[in-house]
Structure 1
Amino acid sequence: MKTKIVLYILPFLLFVGCNRPAPVAPPDTAAETVKVENLLEKYVIASENQDCAMMESIWSPEEDIMLIGTDRKDRLVGWKVIKRAYLNQFGLVTDTYISVSDQYIRMNADCNTAWFSQVMKYNFIFEGAAQSFEGLRFTGVVTKKADGWKIVQAHLSVPANLNISK
């Protein structure tokens, strides 16, 4: 009886012990970085065209995402609040043109989270007068969801001219 049990269990153990999982290809960091670049380009296009539907497609729909604006009180949490802010902005400005420079994107090892920074020149018409923000910094975090990369946290800031030197 013991011999029969050993004869049945031994091949099973050999099969299980020798069965190795198929190797998993490492994530393609360069390809995922390009996808994040494209997401950030969509942000610019959505802002310039005042396209709230496109803006919604690039932000994660969760209620724990965050946008920190240029004003001290501008801490917007949740897509509904962020969307309201974009709609308000779109109602106040026209003829928006944004140029991006100094873009920096880094990816975690699993290629499912990335962080970015970029400098933007933001031109628009407000109350009939041309306005321009130079050196506007846009930073944030994006995560890879089932339907692609989404912004989960972003911060816009305007540099101050403090002239501090050592």
Structure 2
Amino acid sequence: MNSDEIYDLCTLFLHAYQERNLDTLRQMFNRSEELTVLGTHEDLCFLGWSAFETSLARQFSAIEDTDIQMTDFRSHVFAGGAAACAYATTNYRGRVSGQDIHLHGMRLTLTLERHDHFWRVVQAHWSIPADGSLLSPKQLTHQPETTASAPVGHDSGAVCAPQAQQQPALAAHAGFPSGARAAFTVYRKMASTATKRLNQGTFDFASDIAPHADEHFTEIANTVSLDLAQVRETFTPVINAIAVGASFSWSVQLEQARDLTPDITLLITTAQVTLTLSEGQPDTKRYRITNLLTRNSSGAWVFLHQHRTEIPAE
């Protein structure tokens, strides 16, 4: 499966949504309870095809007109063609339940897996800019259930909720696949080590973070696509704050997991980061994150891709 084929598949996915063609979407998605679809805020976490299909049907009944354009498309094929990841920017214009909606700069990640010579979407994640320039999905969340809004899951019914934010014991993950457990152990240790070294003033991105990322790593945060060098820059404000007396904490928790192949795993996690100034209230942010990891040539788990959506404070 080359990049052109993945592009065509993503185009078909958006076209099927635009045309409200549920039959085509049924053929494209892995219709099992292992499917995970993350929307643009914390209430939109659908576990399993049945929950997602119910949401789609509710949305399609309210959508009157829709146009979705895709730009900035990129993809990677892994494990000899057994799994793939695609991400793109999408612009949405539509009329839903009599309301005009325009959402620009939305980010989409799709994770695909080969099943009997056919490709199926096993995970999807949408996010929108967090700068307040777009129509707030939280406002739409509390509208009557007959009202839908933006693409793929602005829905009034939450299927899963964020779990408590603490660094979990590994025994709690006994039910997850072995590859996922091993990959999450790496993730958890990386967060713990980075937290400790940041607070000690000994943090070094090149040794504490970079070795855990593939050379093609891409992160989507607040709908902005970041390469590894740009991710490094995001630690600078934290380092500067700690230098003048602040403290930092970073915890991660595993919500869902799936081994795509023996060497590719998909993790759905929540994370909480807190920066507490020497005099002031803690600044805490929570995220739900799609993580795609692979084993490198030395057998170590490394990140291929992350896509995170901030969970607004209640």
Q: TM-score, normalized by length of structure 2?
A: 0.41
Runs of 4+ in 1 over 2 A off after TM superposition: 31-35
Q: Which moved more, 1:139-148 or 1:96-105?
A: 139-148
Name the structure where helix makes up a greater proportion of residues: 1
Alpha-carbon contact 1:67-1:154 (below 8 Å) kept: yes
Structure 2 partner of 1:72: 42
Whose Rg is larger? Answer: 1
> Quick check: 1:142–1:152 contact (8 Å CA) kept in 2?
yes
The equivalent residue for 2:74 is 104
Paired residues for 1:87-102 under 5 Å: 87-102=57-72
Among 127, 131, 136, the residue aligned to 1:157: 127
Alignment RMSD: 1.7
1:55 aligned to which of 11, 25, 29:
25
Cα shift at 1:47:
0.7
Aligned residues: 134
Query: Partners of 2:7 and 2:120 in 1: how far apart?
Result: 12
In structure 2, what residue type is equivalent to 1:135?
Answer: G
Q: Does 1:117 align with 2:57?
A: no
Offset at 1:140? 2.3
1:147 Cα deviation after fit: 4.4
For 1:113 and 1:88, how far apart are their aligned partners in 2?
30
**Deviation at residue 78 of structure 1 after TM alignment:** 0.7
Alpha-carbon offset, residue 112 of structure 1? 1.0
Letter paired with 1:56: R
Say which is worse superposed, 121-130 or 149-158, in terms of deviation: 121-130
The 3 A distance-change label for structure 1 pair 147 and 62 is: farther
Contact 2:87 2:109 in 1 (8 A): yes
Partners of 2:67 and 2:92 within 8 A in 1: yes
The structure with higher relative contact order (CA 8 Å, sep 6+) is 1
CA contact (8 A) 2:36 2:45 kept: yes
* Corresponding letter in the other structure for 1:76: F
Q: Is the Cα contact below 8 Å between 1:35 and 1:149 reproduced in 2?
A: no
Structure 1 stretch displaced more, 146-155 or 50-59 = 146-155
Amino acid at match of 1:104: R
Distance apart, 1:35 and its partner CA: 2.4
* Pair 1:148 & 2:118 matched: yes
Whether the 8 Å contact between 2:91 and 2:105 is mirrored in structure 1 is: yes
Normalised by the length of structure 1, the TM-score is 0.75
> Percent same amino acid at aligned positions?
21
What SS is found at the alignment partner of 2:81? coil
Give the aligned residue type for 1:50.
R
Runs of at least 5 residues in structure 1 that lack an aligned partner in the other structure? 1-30
Aligned residue in 2 for 1:10: none
Partner AA of 2:20 in structure 1: Q
